[in-house]
Amino acid sequence: MRGLLLGWAVLGAACGPGALQARAEEYVLGPEDVIAVSVWLHPELERTVAIGSDGAIVYPPIGSVKAAGLSPKQLGAALADRLSTYLRQSATVTVTVSQYLSRSVFVSGAVASPGRYGFEEIPGLIEVIGRAGGAQPGADLGQVQILRREGDVRRALVVDLSSALRGGPVAQLPELKPGDTVVVPATGLGGVGAGQGVGVLGEVAKPGIYAVGDGQDLWAVLAVAGGLTSRGDLARVRVVTRQDRGQAVVTVNLREVLQRGTSTPFVVRAGDIVFVSATGASTLGRMGTGFVQVLSVSRDLLNIAVLADILQRKGN
């Protein structure tokens, strides 16, 4: 693992902004990209703006200008043409990309620096994880997940990255696409007591108890449990967690998190219970065999019955 960590560090450096720079005129701008606009001899007109979902920027003093689909050089020429009327003289405009967010990938789970990473050209899976600081000790590289939206459907691709890192065929790894979420799970440990791990119930592939150490991102915990089933409701993932005044039930809308492309706003800790509702279900009535399987893991989990009752009463 020490050798792998060194390798991740090298990859992180290799995938830094300098290594991924290509000629600016070849890059095609897209929604969410952040650009810097400068006008020669007119510092008062310098702006940093984000391209909107409609593909346009708002650039005072000339208003809305189409940006998506153009290269930075082409956009600079378009702005110069519009500004020449305002300035009553020719203008020289330079456009540079500050953040490549139209081609971004979110990295979550057992990595050094989870977050959203933008690229001029999205590199391979290994390089993207390297950009996030590499996998942490205890990461399950044999169960890396790529979460991808295709229309209204969300797919989960499971990738065995460990074999590729040991000399396997890297070319066979799936290519990443803009908007993908890469989840590097922590290694799940069978037989972990309820007070030492997180119980994962409901519409997941492998209900059970999983070790989380000092805490783990909710995405990573769900990935260790095999991800959601086809009936799993991303919009209603409930977590029973301990607070100063007792237990509380928190509902996390992971569908909204995916759409925003931000980090999961919830970390689960030892003793928590995660329950994934079925689409259209209002209670835990569909818990079925998943609940029985988890109960069989440890007698300590008998208290989940009480927590499940709390969830049911809190449900819609």
Q: Which domains does the chain have, with CATH numbers?
A: 28-99 (3.30.1950.10), 104-184 (3.10.560.10), 197-314 (3.10.560.10)
**pTM flag (> 0.85):** no
**pLDDT at residue 22, rounded to an integer:** 44
How far apart CA 283 and CA 286 sit, in angstroms, is 8
Greatest mean pLDDT among 111-120, 147-156, 214-223 lies in 111-120
Lowest-confidence pick of 21-30, 113-122, 219-228, 279-288? 279-288
Q: What residues contact 309, with CB distance under 8 A and at least 6 apart?
A: none
User: What is the average pLDDT value for the chain, to the nearest integer?
Assistant: 77
Query: Residue 183 is inside which H or E element, if any?
Result: strand 181-184
Helix, strand or coil, per DSSP, at residue 106: strand
Residues linked to residue 47 through DSSP beta bridges, in sequence order:
37
- Residue whose structure tokens are 């000399």: 167
Confidence of residue 305 (pLDDT cuts 50, 70, 90): very low
pLDDT at 146 over 80: yes
Lowest-confidence pick of 37-41, 139-143, 177-181? 139-143
**pLDDT at residue 188, rounded to an integer:** 54
Q: Residue 38: is it exposed, middle or buried by C-beta count within 10 angstroms (0-12/13-18/19+)?
A: middle
More confident residue, 91 or 265: 91
Confidence of residue 193 (pLDDT cuts 50, 70, 90): very low
Contact status, residue 210 vs residue 234, Cβ threshold 8 Å:
no
Confidence of residue 59 (pLDDT cuts 50, 70, 90): very high
